[in-house]
Structure 1
Amino acid sequence: MLLKYFRLAVLFLFLCASCASPKVKSETSNSLLATDLKPFGRYLINPSQHLELISSAAHFGFSFEGPGCAIFASIPNAEGHDYLQYELDGVYQKRIKVKGNAKEPLIISSPGPGKHTLWIYKATEAHTGPIVIRSINGTNLKPLARPTAPIIEFIGNSITCGAAADPSEVPCGTGAYHDQHNAYQAYGPRVARALNVNFVLSSVSGIGVYRNWNSDGPTMPQVYEKTDFQANSSQLWNFKTYSPKVVSIALGTNDFSKGDGKKARLPFDSANFVNTYVQFVQVVKSKYPGSQIALLSSPMINGANRTLLQNCLTSVKTQIDALNPTAKPVELFFFQPMQARGCAGHPNVEDHAMLAQELEPFFNKLLQ
């Protein structure tokens, strides 16, 4: 019953804000437009002046007072759904579904009166489509920017996305592919939080260096420069938006994949893999000349292929270092083998915690 009355109160505030005459915005307000927010990750402001969260774990924050606030969010697909997730007063809460045909705002309730801090994250990846944030209503709202800190950009595939990691609400093998996404709990954001740094996820499920899990492309080198990682997109990402101190690249799992067993699949081509990887790292270095490049192996590849991948990454490092003798040498990190417990052989949220713990000393050293 209290939630019902709170919803009505929030909607009343929204209507009042809509009818109010224009005035200079003070430090706090009872309504925030999308253009007032300070998002982090890959995003854009669309022609309607709404915020589109694009990349995995793209996020924004604000403070409010009182029992809660309302977020007006939508997705382009009226019949579909997507997920946000949030952190309230520094504590992770849960995922929340964004329905395409929803008419009411998403209500975030707080534990009580006083000032609260809220960070909203996109739980899913770019290929799921953008989540559109139109406005926010509440009491004494104030947009928050990320604290000044070094940035790690995590380039990768479904593992980096946090895909298939969280079957707590929708069991494995049921629902849509993105129903088990949990980008907030993926290893990259976990490492960043542990080291008190900022992060950007540039990741696509099923993607590889020279081929994808079940196709020849488009691969990461073909989509990396596109804002939404779509090959046919005309929107190019502005790489001057961030200057990461470290760029982590974790690709190769899908190049080694045997596919679905139906479509013809040639054996892994190590020469093609290494040559294409070297070219891609050179592109990344051209975007971020001063960044430290780190190449990660795959926790999902074991046995002889694990050794082969490690040898390939060592070859990539050798060639990149030779091409850039005055730059910081490329660093390598090889995961320990893992028997992943998530959906379709992916790491689950507990596995991601283990991967992050394994990675923390490595990234901590690179950030010094």
Structure 2
Amino acid sequence: MPFHSSNRRGFTLVELLVVIAIIGVLIALLLPAVQQAREAARRMQCSNQLKQLGLALHNYHDTYGAFVPRKQGTNDPGYGSGNERLSNSGRASGFIGLLPFIEQTAMYDKIAAGDGSTAPWGPYAWAGWGVWNNAPEMLLCPSATSKSKPASAVNYMFSSGDSIQGNRDGSNLRGVFQRVHGVNMRDITDGTSNTIAMSERLITNFGIGGGGTNIPVTEGTATGLSGLSGNPSQCVATASGRFYANPGDIKGRTGWRWTDGQIEKVGFTTVLPPNAASCIDGTNPNGDGSNTILPPTSNHPGGAIGLFCDGSVKFVAETIDTGDLTAGQVTNGPSPYGVWGAMGSKSGGEAYAAN
């Protein structure tokens, strides 16, 4: 019987390299599409959570006749050792008041009751307490990753509008959320669909100079400035491209304690556009700056999501008009900071619409 040899041949090295190259190109083309799809899903979830907060704000307004203040609470008997469990020092954030309206009634009741070591409504708002150490999950945007995110962190912020001077403690700010005084719908004379209520900020958690050498402007706050309310453009000058020019002056105290009503913790301003630099007057190392510029920041390409007072959610581009940033802040009338400032002021009389 004759023997017939097999004539099969394998791939040559060149052919294998070509196949590998084609697979690599296909992966390179597919990966951005997958990443975009994931970001679109995260952005949708982030938007939906803001819509839920919008419903909560409206339900709170229906119940109490005004929007929740950004900061309020029980009186401090005197700052010092031994008193930190006796009050929240008047710094309970608006999120505590919203808890029953975001399906967190059990947590709200525990905070209201206190416990054996802590007075009703909690200890100092920046202090740890087992009842509130973990923020409700819906207060975190899935796109907002963080290098050192504590369990008590929050991404969503209340608008203080285009007010800069004294916006930490002011009770008559141009925006919708401030200290103690809750704003009624009738106070928003520019129209609820034109006035922003909430937006996003990325969580940061480091002291002055502790953020490394290359700090993105979206992930820190410049310190050591003076007179921001008279010339906000000096905050722009702290940036070099997408990074801060002097990292030794930068701190990160945004959103790391959801229960604390300080503006650096749970607030934002409508002066500089989304994803621009943040700044405070002075060198406060904690999240207690009293005169601040804190634009929304996010990982969404090109801007941040905003919740408006009518409950609608819109994307605010980082290219939005900001008017004259060399102009000082105003206490009444139209905002000098363009369309963005007009969105923040509840009764500036501007004709701009939030498109």
TM-score, normalisation: structure 1: 0.26
Higher relative contact order structure (alpha carbons within 8 Å, sequence separation ≥ 6)? 2
TM-score, normalisation: structure 2: 0.27
Higher share in strand: 1
Larger Rg: 2
